[in-house]
């Protein structure tokens, strides 16, 4: 055994010596070649575009691509101006936003927005009754379920009945506010349920400890425990405890806060940064104007022009219209993301001293669809993880089933926010969201098989092409449903 070990060590030494010898020979050869009279200038090197070269500085090509994209965008913008003229009209913005062209003088969208306070107050009253045990658990939960269902159903019924009284902006705003309230109240109910269960378990354990201490503890132990409890209480004096959180001030702060997840004690900032606040205000105002200009000048004509090819199923022309619409739509979507998740939510957070500003992560680097949905909208992702995914897993469901449930709820609300304001009850948005599941599998396959770059390309392609396709389908169905097929013949000359 010892001889074998010595022989193996000797072989390894010879191998190491041979490798070192080879490197020495190469260095010696390179030194001799440099002294040759032909002045050699070649050495073993890989081309920069080869993966083995290790070269990764493509900043110039990125600048070239950005410049080329900018020039292409400017060309399309000039083509739009030449073909349609200046379509930007700020007066129309005011008419749309104020709802001046809504049927009648009652402004139902404003009334529904004011009514949204009612389900919030009802939720608080039910929780107060549960906390003092005036309402038992089962009737209380049933009341919460009914309150949440009515909250979702009211916009659907009212917008359908008084269809002529709603502007598109008004109906969309109502559906958005009511959807947010649904998610917020769900979180509020669930967190208070956790607190009630914790209070019940602590009270039971406290009774057991009292029984044990009565029989087995002496006075010195009680004094020591009392001093520890006193220190803990002093450390928690600044925190709100259940059920002291059940008041109007607390729930309305939560309703206005830029989060969907309720807590009894949110992290707070000490002061409002005035310069930061002004910057966010300017971004919201200016960015909104830019979005409205792009809608009027670029998106509306492109959507109208897509009607005939899409209706006739002319694949070539429909694809051309899709690609033409993709650029302004994607630009508006990027502006919307920045305005909503950076400017507006930071503005609200700054005014309310809300310290958690993690509204988005680096979704632009996502290598698969799952990573994108976990990164681009952190308030919704945090809500889905905390109040839907983890509870379902803890109830015994598989992670796959819990993930499908999350996508199902997301698909429902995407469809809700589109179909209800348009009064066109199709399922394109729902199917688009549920289609993210197989797309996620495909993007992971591309990431694993061809590398993270190709996975990221799949993510960007789905964002750039999926949204304009959905817009074209809904516009076609809206025209067919509410205006009639005669309008398609009227656009035939465009």
Q: Which residues are catalytic?
A: 414
Would you put residue 272 in left (φ > 0), alpha (ψ -120 to 50) or beta?
beta
- CA 200/CA 25 separation, integer angstroms: 80
Q: Degrees (nearest 5) of the Cα angle 12, 17, 18?
A: 100
Q: 189: closest CA among 199, 179, 201, 181? A: 181
The distance in angstroms from the start CA to the end CA of the chain is 91
- CA 433/CA 450 separation, integer angstroms: 25
Tokens of 290: 């830019």
DSSP type of residue 168: H
Query: By the 8 A CB rule, do 117 and 178 touch?
Result: no
- Residue 287, φ and ψ in degrees, nearest 5: -60, -35
Distances (CA, A) of 266 to 263, 277, 442: 6, 20, 39
- CA 251/CA 263 separation, integer angstroms: 10
Q: Residue 39: CB partners within 8 Å, gap ≥ 6?
A: none
């Amino acid at each position: 055994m010892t001889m074998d070990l010595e022989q193996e060590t000797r072989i390894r030494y010879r191998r190491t010596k041979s490798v070192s010898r080879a490197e020495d020979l190469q260095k010696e050869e390179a030194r001799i070649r440099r002294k040759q009279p032909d002045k050699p200038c070649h050495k073993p090197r890989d081309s920069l575009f080869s993966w083995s070269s290790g070269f990764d500085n493509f900043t110039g090509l990125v600048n070239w691509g950005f410049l080329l994209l900018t020039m292409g965008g400017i060309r399309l913008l000039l083509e739009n101006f030449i073909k349609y003229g200046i379509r930007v009209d700020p007066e129309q913005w005011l008419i749309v936003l104020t709802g001046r062209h809504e049927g009648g003088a009652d402004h139902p969208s404003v009334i529904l927005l004011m009514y949204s306070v009612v389900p919030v107050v009802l939720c608080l009253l039910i929780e107060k009754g549960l906390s003092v045990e005036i309402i038992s658990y089962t009737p209380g939960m049933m009341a919460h379920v009914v309150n949440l269902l009515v909250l979702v159903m009211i916009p659907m019924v009212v917008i359908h009945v008084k269809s002529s009284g709603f502007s598109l902006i008004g109906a969309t705003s109502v559906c958005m506010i009511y959807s947010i309230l649904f998610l917020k109240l769900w979180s509020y109910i669930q967190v208070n349920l956790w607190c009630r269960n914790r209070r019940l378990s602590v009270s039971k354990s406290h009774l057991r400890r009292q029984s044990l201490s009565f029989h087995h503890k002496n006075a010195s132990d009680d004094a020591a425990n009392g001093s520890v409890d006193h220190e803990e209480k002093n450390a928690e004096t600044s925190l709100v405890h259940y059920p002291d959180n059940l008041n109007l001030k607390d729930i309305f702060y939560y309703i206005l806060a830029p989060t969907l997840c309720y807590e009894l004690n949110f992290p707070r900032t000490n002061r409002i940064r005035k310069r930061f606040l002004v910057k966010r205000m300017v971004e919201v105002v200016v960015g909104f104007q830019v979005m409205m200009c792009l809608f009027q000048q670029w998106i509306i004509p492109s959507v109208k022009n897509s009607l005939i090819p899409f209706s006739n199923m002319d694949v070539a022309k429909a694809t051309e219209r899709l690609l033409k619409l993709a650029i302004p739509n994607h630009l508006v979507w990027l502006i919307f993301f920045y305005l909503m998740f950076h400017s507006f939510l930071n503005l609200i957070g700054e005014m309310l001293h809300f310290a958690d500003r993690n509204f988005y992560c680096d979704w632009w680097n996502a290598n698969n669809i799952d990573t994108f949905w976990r990164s681009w909208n952190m308030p919704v992702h945090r809500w889905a993880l905390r109040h839907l995914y983890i509870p379902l897993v803890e109830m015994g469901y598989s992670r796959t089933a819990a993930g499908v449930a999350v996508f199902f709820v997301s698909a429902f609300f995407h469809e809700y926010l589109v179909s209800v304001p348009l009064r066109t009850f199709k399922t394109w948005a729902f199917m688009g969201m549920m289609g993210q599941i197989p797309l996620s599998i495909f993007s992971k396959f591309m990431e694993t098989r061809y590398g993270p770059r190709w996975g990221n390309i799949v993510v960007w392609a789905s964002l750039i092409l999926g949204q304009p396709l959905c817009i074209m389908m809904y516009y076609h169905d809206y025209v067919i449903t509410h205006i009639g097929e005669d309008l398609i013949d009227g656009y035939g000359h465009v």
